[in-house]
Amino acid sequence: MDIEIKLGSILELKKGHPCGANRWEIIRFGTDCKIKCLGCGRIVLIDRPTLKKRVKKILEEKSEEHS
């Protein structure tokens, strides 16, 4: 399954953050991606192929129409 990741989306990863949360917001999406833990606010740099492999599901998708 190919998961479509968009800037601003909230993701659940296969492995949560050590702080106990498992909700991540995409704050940069390019060759390298930055994801922010919504539990503690920590920002993690991750490359795109690794991120795609680690995504379990998309919790919230950024939408232009429903803001």
Q: Which residues bind Zn ion (CB under 5 A)?
A: 17, 19, 21, 37, 39-40, 42
In the complex with Zn ion, the residue whose CB is nearer, 18 or 65, is: 18
For 4, half-sphere exposure in the C-beta direction (CA atoms, 13 angstrom radius) is 2
Please tell me the number of Cα atoms within 13 Å of 1 on its side-chain side: 8
Measured from the CB atom, the residue of 3 and 19 that comes closer to Zn ion is 19
Give the nearest distance from C-beta 17 to Zn ion in angstroms: 3
CB of 14 to Zn ion, least distance (A): 15
* Alpha-carbon dihedral sign for residues 15, 23, 45, 67: positive
